[in-house]
Amino acid sequence: MEFSAEMIAAYLGGEIVGNTQTTVSTFAKIEEGHPGALSFLANPKYEHYIYDTQSSIVIVNNDFKPQQEVKATMIKVEDAYGSFAKLLELYAAHKPRRTGISDKADIAPDANVGCNCYIGAFAVIETGATIGDNVCIYPNAYIGAGVTVGDNTILYAGVKVYEDCRIGRNVIIHAGAVIGADGFGFAPQEDGSYSKIPQIGNVVIEDDVEIGANTCIDRATMGSTIIHRGVKLDNLIQIGHNVVIGENTVSASQVGVAGTSKVGRHCMLGGQVGIAGHLTIGDNVQIGSKSGISNNIPDGTVYFGYPALPISRYHRANAVFRNLPELSKTVYRLEKQMAELTGKKE
C-alpha cells in the first residue's frame, strides 16, 4: 500500500515541510534509506544522515532545525520516535493474518477453541484448555491441561505453557519461551542430598504483556507467579517462583529475578540485572545494566553497580575506584617516607 505525506501527516497530526504528494510504501532506517521509504530522525547524533538519505519521507521532531538542505519531505511531529512506532503498528495491523487449524495439530476433545484462531502444525492443546478468539498458536507450541489463553494473543513456535497457567488478552509470547516450569525449590537433607519441593501453583500473565524468546517464568510453589498488565520482558530472562512484576515494567535481556521477590510498577531493568530472592523493588525504579540487587529498593530511585548503590553514590565510588592505582602508589610512597622518618627518630 502507498501512503502520501498528506495522509501520514493527517494521521499523526504533523506539519509537512516539502512535497505533500510524496508517497511511500515501506520503512527504512535513515542511514539505509531508499526511494519510496519512510524513515525517522529522533536522536541528534544521526542528524547527518538526513542530508544524504534517499528516503522519500522523514519524520522529525517539531524542534528540528536543519543546518543544510534536506531533499526528503519532512513531517514534523511532537515525538518522532513515538509517531514512527505508531505507523509501524498501523502497517503491522494491515498485514495478512494467519487463520485455520492444521490437521496436524493435536487438540484434546474437551479443549475449547474460540473463533478465528490459527493453530499450526504439531501444536498440542491438552484437556480442559480454553483458547480465546483470534488467538494465533504457531507450530510446535504446547498448551497444557487447564490453561486459559485470552483473545488476540500470539504464541510463537515452540512456546510451552504448563498446566493451569493463565494467559491474558493481547499477549505476545515469542519462540521458545517456557511459562510455568517448576520453581527452583529443593530442601537440603541430612545426608547432603536435596529433596524436591512440589511446585503446585501456577503463572498468571495479565493483558498486553510481551515476553521475549527463550524467557522462562517459573510457576509458584503455592499461589501464583504474576506478570501484571503491560509488562515487557526481553529475550533470555529468568523469573523465579512466586515473583510479582508490576504493571508496565520493562526488563532487558538476561535479567534474573529470584524467587518471591516483588518488582514494582513502571520500573526499568537494564540487561543482566540480578535481583536476589525475597526482596521488594519499589515503583518507578531504574536499575542499570549488570547491577546486583541484594537489598530492598525504595520508590523512584536509580541504582547501579555490583553490589548496587544509589546512582550518585555509585559515581562517587567509581571515581575512587578508577584512581586506585595512583592511590596505591601514593600510600606506598607515604609508608616508605614514614618508615624513613621513624628510623631517623629512633
Digit-coded pLDDT (tens) for 128-185: 999 999 999 999 999 999 999 999 999 999 999 999 999 999 999 999 999 999 999 9
The domain limits of the chain are: 3-93, 100-312, 320-345
Residue 344: the pLDDT is: 56
Tell me whether the CATH fold assigned to 3-93 matches the one assigned to 100-312: no
Average pLDDT, whole number, for the chain? 94
Q: What is the pTM of this model?
A: 0.86
3-state secondary structure of 39: strand
Please state, in angstroms and rounded to a whole number, the distance separating the CA atoms of residues 71 and 54. 8
Residue 334 has pLDDT above 80, yes or no: yes
CATH superfamily of the domain spanning 3-93:
MurE/MurF, N-terminal domain (3.40.1390.10)
Among 34, 48, 174, 241, the active-site one is 241
What is the distance between the terminal CA atoms of the chain, rounded to a whole angstrom? 93
**Residue 241 a catalytic site member:** yes
Averaged pLDDT, 317-346: 80
pLDDT score recorded for residue 346: 44
Kindly state the average pLDDT of the residues 322-346: 81
Nearest CA-CA partner of 305 in 314, 316, 294, 296: 314
| All cell numbers assigned to 229 | 498488565
pLDDT at site 185: 93
Mean pLDDT along residues 110-136: 97
Helices (H) and strands (E) in the chain, counts: 5, 40
Domain 100-312 superfamily per CATH: Hexapeptide repeat proteins (2.160.10.10)
241: helix, strand or coil: coil
